[in-house]
């Protein structure tokens, strides 16, 4: 009888750990969509630009001090390390400011593919607000072609730059809106880590002209459609 | 003794179903990232265009006959129902063919935000191939503004159209490459369901000019970077 009870208990414990393991996978999958099936092969180098869409090694990332779950990592002296995995985040829109229409030197050449971390996007869908910990990515892409079978226009060429905006009320408590801005360069190879931009370099323009909480949502139709007020 | 064995077996069965349920959640989560937290409130209407980013009701979707997991649903007579949730899929690129550069009538006005279903993207990362069941979405967005604080150019306005390409060797076995193409219109409100386009309307051009398996990957830097050959 006792032996049989032990068998039942053992089965229950095994079931608990099996469920716990799957629950962990479930959470990991939600935190980094596609990451569960997209882990780089063991031994792959993690610094190549082409690896931006692969999941970072488990345990290598740290949550922002604001308590959010977006995978950002800072150096001890406060520099932001180049984000990874953002090409599987939620895409919100693509402004295009070609160099050729801006005296050969656009501030952000040329396409700007903009992403938002998935957990903050889910919060935005419910509330219409950018939660503490929100991370926005602006990936710059060169114009590659001006004509295709679909017509004349602008077609994406190569990746050329990467910028990040982070809202963090603890880490950036002195910045207007608690938003800090980082640029990893406008040509490859990108910087592996970078210091925060001065307030006047980025924050001031976002504060003055962005439609909602320092975010240029007026140019991001996905955000406008996802806000609760439009439902 | 037999009673105890039954207890152990019962615990084992309970564990199996618990794990199976969590496995299902895991797959559902991977199929629609963020969907678990983005379900529409009970009673919300599902047909509004703004709801495209919310998860469809559990059980309402059917896997393509090719065995893939992307959430597409067909009518009994083979029409494709308007896809949902694709704004949380993997974004691959944005061609822009403004009406103004194409005699006032571009074939696809103006921005084309292109997405790929996450499971097929994960397969593409491993193999560089578009698996059976791959779904590509082309969401058309009007040019909304021609100037902003970041310079002169093109900025996204409103959503105006939606098109879908599906690779399915069973359902579309007679189409070149097994790719079928569907358009839900180039102005809102979009069609709720639509019949397959004729082969000459879409497939032929994709076959002739797309860089890889009927997909215009030459204009999608995310796909080019994710293919194994570039790692």
Note the pLDDT tens digit of each residue in B83-96: 999 999 999 999 99
Asked if residue B5 is part of any domain, the answer here is no
The percentage of residues in chain A with a pLDDT greater than 90, rounded to a whole number, is 61
Of A92-96, A140-144, B5-9, B225-229, minimum mean pLDDT range: B5-9
Higher-scoring residue by pLDDT: B159, A19: B159
Q: Does the pLDDT of residue A127 top 80, yes or no? A: yes
Q: In angstroms, rounded to a whole number, what is the distance separating the alpha carbons of residues B90 and B223? A: 10
Q: What is the mean pLDDT of residues A21-47?
A: 37
Higher-scoring residue by pLDDT: B161, A210: B161
B118 with A145: Cβ contact below 8 A = no
Tokens 């180049």 belong to A82
Contacts with A123 (C-beta within 8 Å, 6 or more apart), sequence order: A129, A131, A134
Q: Shortest CB distance from A151 goes to which of B102, B158, B216?
A: B102
Q: In angstroms, rounded to a whole number, what is the distance separating the alpha carbons of residues A113 and A57? A: 25
Asked if residue A19 is part of any domain, the answer here is no
Note the pLDDT tens digit of each residue in B120-149: 999 999 999 999 999 999 999 999 999 998
Of A158-167, A214-223, B1-10, minimum mean pLDDT range: B1-10
Average pLDDT, chain A: 78
| DSSP state, residue A20 | H
**Residue A4 in 3-state DSSP?**
helix
What's the pLDDT at A102?
95
* Of the ranges A34-38, A46-50, A52-56, A132-136, the best mean pLDDT one: A132-136
Q: Does the pLDDT of residue A35 top 60, yes or no? A: no
pLDDT band at A201 (very low <50, low <70, confident <90, very high): confident
Q: In angstroms, rounded to a whole number, what is the distance separating the alpha carbons of residues A20 and B8? A: 20
Q: What is the mean pLDDT of residues A66-81?
A: 80
Asked if residue B112 is part of any domain, the answer here is yes
What residue of B is the nearest CA neighbor of A228? B50
Contacts with A171 (C-beta within 8 Å, 6 or more apart), sequence order: A64, A65, A66, A74, A78, A180
pLDDT band at A170 (very low <50, low <70, confident <90, very high): very high
What's the pLDDT at A143?
97
Q: In angstroms, rounded to a whole number, what is the distance separating the alpha carbons of residues B140 and B96? A: 9
Please answer whether residues B95 and A156 qualify as being in contact, where contact means their C-beta atoms are separated by less than 8 angstroms.
yes
Q: Does the pLDDT of residue B63 top 60, yes or no? A: no
B219 with A93: Cβ contact below 8 A = no
Give the pair of three-digit tokens for residue B189: 């409100």
Structural domains of chain A, count: 1
Contacts with A210 (C-beta within 8 Å, 6 or more apart), sequence order: A216, A217, A218
B19 with A14: Cβ contact below 8 A = no
* Of the ranges A1-15, A20-34, A52-66, A117-131, the best mean pLDDT one: A117-131
* Structural domain harbouring A136: 80-226
Q: Shortest CB distance from A153 goes to which of B1, B88, B95?
A: B95
Terminal-to-terminal C-alpha distance of chain A: 60
Of the residues B96, B125, B137, the best mutation for testing chain A's interface (the one with the most A CB atoms within 10 Å of its CB) is B96
Q: Which CATH number covers residue A168?
A: 3.50.70.20
Of A64-73, B97-106, B135-144, minimum mean pLDDT range: A64-73
pLDDT band at B70 (very low <50, low <70, confident <90, very high): low
Asked if residue A86 is part of any domain, the answer here is yes
**Residue A195 in 3-state DSSP?**
coil
The reply to whether B201 touches chain A by the CB within 8 Å rule is no
pLDDT band at A34 (very low <50, low <70, confident <90, very high): very low
Note the pLDDT tens digit of each residue in B166-181: 999 999 999 999 999 9
The percentage of residues in chain B with a pLDDT greater than 90, rounded to a whole number, is 61
What residue of B is the nearest CA neighbor of A28? B26
Asked if residue A34 is part of any domain, the answer here is no
The reply to whether A214 touches chain B by the CB within 8 Å rule is no
Q: In angstroms, rounded to a whole number, what is the distance separating the alpha carbons of residues B115 and A113? A: 13
Q: What is the mean pLDDT of residues A49-68?
A: 40
Higher-scoring residue by pLDDT: B210, A126: A126
pLDDT band at A31 (very low <50, low <70, confident <90, very high): very low
pLDDT band at A70 (very low <50, low <70, confident <90, very high): low
Chain A, residues 41-100, CB within 8 A of chain B, namely: 44, 48-54, 87-88, 90-91, 93-98
Average pLDDT, chain B: 78
The reply to whether B4 touches chain A by the CB within 8 Å rule is yes
Asked if residue A65 is part of any domain, the answer here is no
Q: Does the pLDDT of residue B42 top 90, yes or no? A: no
Q: Shortest CB distance from A4 goes to which of B1, B48, B205?
A: B1
What's the pLDDT at B222?
97
Q: Does the pLDDT of residue A24 top 70, yes or no? A: no
Q: Shortest CB distance from A156 goes to which of B5, B159, B219?
A: B219
> What is the pTM for the complete model shown?
0.73
pLDDT band at B201 (very low <50, low <70, confident <90, very high): confident
Phi then psi for residue B42, to 5 deg, are -55, 130
Note the pLDDT tens digit of each residue in B207-219: 888 888 899 999 9
Higher-scoring residue by pLDDT: A66, B204: B204
Angle between helices A2-31 and A118-127 (to 10 degrees): 80
Chain B, residues 108-147, CB within 8 A of chain A, namely: 108, 111-113, 115, 118-119, 121-122, 125, 141, 144-145
Higher-scoring residue by pLDDT: A219, A64: A219
Asked if residue A159 is part of any domain, the answer here is yes
Asked if residue B63 is part of any domain, the answer here is no
Q: What is the mean pLDDT of residues B42-46?
A: 35
B113 with A95: Cβ contact below 8 A = no
């Amino acid at each position: 009888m006792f032996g049989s009870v032990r068998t039942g208990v053992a089965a229950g414990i095994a079931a608990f750990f099996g469920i716990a393991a799957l629950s962990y996978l479930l959470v990991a999958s939600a935190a980094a969509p596609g990451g569960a099936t997209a882990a780089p092969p063991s031994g792959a180098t993690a610094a190549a630009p082409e690896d931006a869409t692969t999941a970072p090694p488990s345990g290598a990332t740290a949550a922002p001090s604001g308590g959010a779950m977006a995978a950002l990592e800072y150096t001890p002296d406060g520099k932001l390390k180049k984000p990874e995995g953002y090409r599987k985040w939620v895409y919100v829109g693509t402004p295009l400011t070609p160099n050729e229409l801006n005296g050969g030197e656009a501030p952000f050449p040329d396409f700007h593919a903009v992403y938002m971390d998935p957990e903050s996007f889910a919060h935005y869908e419910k509330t219409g607000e950018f939660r503490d910990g929100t991370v926005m990515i602006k990936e710059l892409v060169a114009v590659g072609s001006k004509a295709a079978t679909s017509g004349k226009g602008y077609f994406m060429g190569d990746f050329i730059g990467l910028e990040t905006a982070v809202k963090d009320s603890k880490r950036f408590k002195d910045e207007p809106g608690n938003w800090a801005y980082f640029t990893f360069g406008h040509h490859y190879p990108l910087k592996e880590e970078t210091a925060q931009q001065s307030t006047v370099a980025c924050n001031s323009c976002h504060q003055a002209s962005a439609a909602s909480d320092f975010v240029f949502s007026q140019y991001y139709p996905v955000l406008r459609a996802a806000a609760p007020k439009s439902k």
